[in-house]
Amino acid sequence: MKFDNVLAERKNKVIYRDGDLAVKVFDESFPKSDILNEALNQARVEETGLNIPKIEEVTKIDGKWAIISTFVEGKTLQQLMDENPDKLDEYLELFVNVQMEILSKKCPLLKRLQDKMQSKISSTDLDATTRYELHTRLASMKRHDKVCHGDFNPSNIIITPDGTPFILDWSHATQGNGAADAARTYLLFCLKGEKELAEKYLKLFCEKTDTARQYVNAWMPIVAASQSVKGNPEEREFLLNWANVCDWQ
């Protein structure tokens, strides 16, 4: 296999381009079940008809697990936002449109968001009283079955030269309440230090989907707590602070 270039390098994985293919190679430390789950999620979401890279192969390269998908030509929405700050409003509009398109889909075999969050809350470092509060709150939230990306941020969208958006990175996909997905995106912007953009995003999401801001806010502590489980130490502290704020109404 000849790798033309490295598309992205992370702590425990590298994404290469190999001609028409994108090859995501995971370190030995990465749980096999997570890798296979990511590939299965991606294969399932492919069936919804959303524009996403197609799974071509799941294999081992030099002893490491790899997911091979079609390569999507273009720039990530993150790159475009960085390069053209004057077009931020236009890009944000596109960003929310893509999220709404995802949320319009059903994929009955994806894991349920409610179940995933339930077990994540149990694995946090939060005290029993806070966990109880979060579990109770989660149980009271409306159960939906919309496809939720789970890591919806501008680096997971590629815009092709003809302007078509493709959505990448389905490792956290679930089916559930779209407001939880919006809360996650809001927190992802905040974690990058982009509070202003986070606010702007959420305002637009609420307007376009006719969702009350309070409804998304009610998810914040739950989503923050569940996101804290795998985060690095600084992120964890930030998220656990949010998770402790149980009066997010």
User: What residues line the site for ligand ADP (CB under 6 A)?
Assistant: 7-8, 10, 13, 15, 22, 24, 53, 69, 71-72, 76, 155-156, 158, 168-169
Closest CB to ligand ADP among 170 and 215? 170
156 binds Mg ion (CB under 5 A): yes
- At 160, the amino acid letter reads T
Alpha-carbon span 8 to 72, nearest angstrom = 14
Q: Could you tell which of Mg ion, ligand ADP, none binds residue 22, using a CB distance below 5 to 8 A set by kind?
A: ligand ADP
Q: Could you tell which of ligand ADP, Mg ion, none binds residue 76, using a CB distance below 5 to 8 A set by kind?
A: ligand ADP
> Tokens at residue 108, please?
């009955």
Q: Which one of the spans 96-104, 117-125, 162-170, 188-196 is the region binding Mg ion (CB under 5 A)? A: 162-170
* Smallest gap from residue 136 Cβ to ligand ADP (A): 32
Closest CB to ligand ADP among 15 and 81? 15
Q: Name the residue among 151, 120, 127 with its Cα closest to residue 229.
A: 120
Site string for Mg ion, 168-197 (x = CB under 5 A): -x----------------------------
> Tokens at residue 7, please?
């598309």
Q: Could you tell which of ligand ADP, Mg ion, none binds residue 15, using a CB distance below 5 to 8 A set by kind?
A: ligand ADP
Interface size with Mg ion, residues (CB under 5 A): 2
**Neighbouring-strand partners of residue 165:** 159
Alpha-carbon span 217 to 219, nearest angstrom = 5
Say if CB 52 and CB 166 are below 8 A apart. Answer: yes
How many degrees, rounded to 5, is the angle at CA 98 between CA 96 and CA 23? 125
Q: Is the four-CA dihedral 231, 180, 91, 170 of positive or negative sign?
A: positive
